[in-house]
Structure 1
């Protein structure tokens, strides 16, 4: 591979924003990719994937390059040189790469890779939490898998097409996909591609959604004609899946504390041909209380650490703090206590997170069931999904039923 100066400069600019200004990697990369209209697919892929790669391995590369935060541009070029050397890319004769000790880089990589927190490039405290909650064998496998690039998975919008038809349509547009066993609506891209520019996407034939995330709506056991509340809907990936399972019949109330996210859901719903969704901003306890004992199904896709989706959000591990984990556990239990009241007798509730930590998952359910609010519920089933066993995002989901 030959390095091009303008592409490398874009990566360094992006890393400056992510590491030194705390910007979110996905937003930064979106901006970087708009820089030059002449860039082709390979150029864009280089900028996106190289930036994500260096974000993912920040701690390891910084240790090898012997640089410390905050990183100035020279530091970032040193980290870039580490990335290139470990990828086997020949460094061009640029001033930024003068005196790069390529042999020493490989030696330090071998040495540092003996220690898990350096090899997997994670903060000490995250390594300690994972070790404590999952045990050494499981945590070692899971965090290694979380450092691999995630596949692109599509969810077929069954309101408009079938999985088989969608596969053929995408094939005609030069995008090869394959089915995934155990996932009724999912297609996996065989090679990465920008699916958002396709006619199929513009027509609402699919959404991008990981295979593990697609299990949640299925877990909720919805039927056409039901009243369903998605309490932490966000931009609506699971809301739209629920709508397709309900065949656009019945009512879905999509709630969130962020109005901006619900506005995105409105746009996506229109594109998907979904018309049974009512949007509600949670700006007080009033919208919640109005729904007490009214819902056949309630989904709580709870806020969490996101430690099950680090493959997609590698910068999250540098933004997370131990205090956040304590706060989010309290929030999760509070949400369970409050939102569970919307379930009517003999109705069902799903609690889900994109975390792999028992303290955010099954322990929260145990605490809830022992509480006064949880006394009317029984656990039907739950499911832990780990990246290292499934190949997809880490997730947890529990199905509870309210007694009659």
Structure 2
């Protein structure tokens, strides 16, 4: 493989933005890919995947390169050189690269690969937290799986098309997919591709949504004609899935504290031809009180550490802080206490996170069930999804029923 200057400089600038300026990796990649409209698919793939690779393995590479944050430009070139050596890419004779100690890099890699926190490139505190909550053996497997590149998964929008017909339409656009057992609406791409440019996407035939995430709406056990509240809807991936499962019949109230996210949901709902969704910004407790005891189903896709989706957001490893975990647990319990009141007698509630930590998951449910308001609910079932056993994102979901 031959390195090209303009592509490499796009990578270098993006790494600077992510680690020195606090830019999110996905935004940095998006910006980088707009630098030159002449780039082809292979160029764009190189830029995106190299940025994510260096972000994902940053601690390991920094240790090998002997550099520390904040990175100056020379430091970033050293990180890039380590990436090249470990992938067997020939280094060009550029001033920015200079002399690279290939044998020392490979030797240091072999040495550090024996230590999990370096091998999996994670902060000490995350490694200690994961091991304490999941146990050494399970955490070792899980964090390794979280460092694998995530597959591109689609969810068929059954309001507009069947999964079989969607497969045919995508094939006609040179995108080959496979079905996934036990995920009725899911298709996985055999090779990564920009699906957002397809005619099928513009026609609202699918959404990009991980297979584990697709389990959540189905777990809520909805039916056409119900009144359903999605309390932490965000940009609406699960809201749209609920609309499909309800066949556009009944009412879905999608709520969030961020109006900007709900605006994105409106755009997506229009493309999906989902007509039974109403959005509401949570700007006071009045919005919640108005709905007390009125919903057949309530989804709480709670804010969390995101430690089940590191493979999609590798920069989150470096942005997360220990105090965030403690604070978010308080938020999770608070939203459970507040939003559970929306469920009517005989109705059901799902509490879900994209975390693999029991302290954010079943322990939160147990705490709720022993509280005063939680005594009105019965635990039905829960599902723990780990990346190393499923091949998809780590998720948790619990189904509770309010006593009639």
Matches within 5 A, 1:217-228: 217-228=217-228
Which residue of the partner structure matches residue 146 of structure 1?
146
In the alignment, structure 1 residue 135 sits paired with structure 2 residue 145 = no
Q: CA deviation at 1:98?
A: 1.3
Q: How many residues align?
A: 404
2:185 corresponds in structure 1 to: 185
Deviation at 1:394, TM superposition (A): 0.2
The answer on 1:100 being equivalent to 2:97 is no
For residues 145 and 75 of structure 1, the distance between their equivalents in structure 2, rounded to whole angstroms, comes to 28
Cα distance, 1:99 vs structure 2 = 1.0
How far 1:119 sits from its partner (Å)?
A: 0.5
TM-score calculated relative to the size of structure 2: 1.00
Counterparts of 2:73 and 2:383, CA distance in 1: 45
SS in 2 for 1:383: strand
Match of residue 251 from structure 1? 251
How many Å separate the matches in 2 of 1:317 and 1:286?
36
Say which SS state the counterpart of residue 211 (structure 1) adopts.
Answer: coil
C-alpha distance after superposition, 1:179-238 (max 9, x if no partner): 000000000000000000000000000000000000000100000000000000000000
Query: 2:24 aligns to what?
Result: 24
Counterpart secondary structure, 2:3: coil
Gaps of 5+ in 2: none
Cα distance in 1 between the residues matched to 2:138 and 2:253: 38
**Structure 1: stretches of 5+ with no match in the other structure:** none
1:387 is the counterpart of 2:387? yes
CA RMSD of aligned residues (A): 0.4
Q: How many angstroms apart in 2 are the aligned matches of 1:154 and 1:372? A: 41
| Partners of 1:27 and 1:280 in 2: CA distance | 27
Task: Tell me the SS of whatever aligns to 1:309.
Answer: coil
1:208 aligns with 2:229: no
Match of 2:53 in 1: 53
Kindly provide the CA deviation profile for residues 266-299 of structure 1, in whole angstroms up to 9, marking residues without a partner as x.
0000000001000000000011000000000000
Structure 1 equivalent of residue 350 of structure 2: 350
Please state how far the C-alpha of 1:257 moved relative to its aligned partner: 0.2
Provide the residue aligned with 2:305 in structure 1: 305
Pairs within 5 Å for 1:251-400:
251-400=251-400
SS in 1 for 2:168: helix
For 2:234, the equivalent position in structure 1 comes to: 234
Instruction: State the partner residue of 1:86.
Output: 86
Q: What is the alpha-carbon distance in structure 1 between the residues aligned to residue 56 and residue 73 of structure 2?
A: 18
Distance 2:176 2:150 in 1: 17
Distance 1:224 1:88 in 2: 55
- Once residues 271 and 103 of structure 1 are traced to their aligned partners in structure 2, the CA distance between those partners, rounded to angstroms, is 54
CA distance in 1, matches of 2:103, 2:286: 64
Q: In the TM superposition, what is the alpha-carbon distance from 1:71 to its structure 2 partner? A: 0.4
Structure 1 residue 301, shift from structure 2 partner: 0.1
After TM superposition, where is structure 1 displaced by more than 2 Å over at least 4 residues in a row?
A: none
Aligned counterparts of 1:177 and 1:389: Cα–Cα separation in 2: 21
What is the CA–CA distance in structure 2 between the aligned matches of 1:344 and 1:382, rounded to whole Å?
A: 21
**CA separation in 1, counterparts of 2:38 and 2:16?**
24
What's the offset of the Cα at 1:63? 0.2
User: 1:162, CA displacement in angstroms?
Assistant: 0.5
Measure how far apart 1:97 and its partner are. 1.9
| In structure 2, distance between residues paired with 1:84 and 1:231 | 45
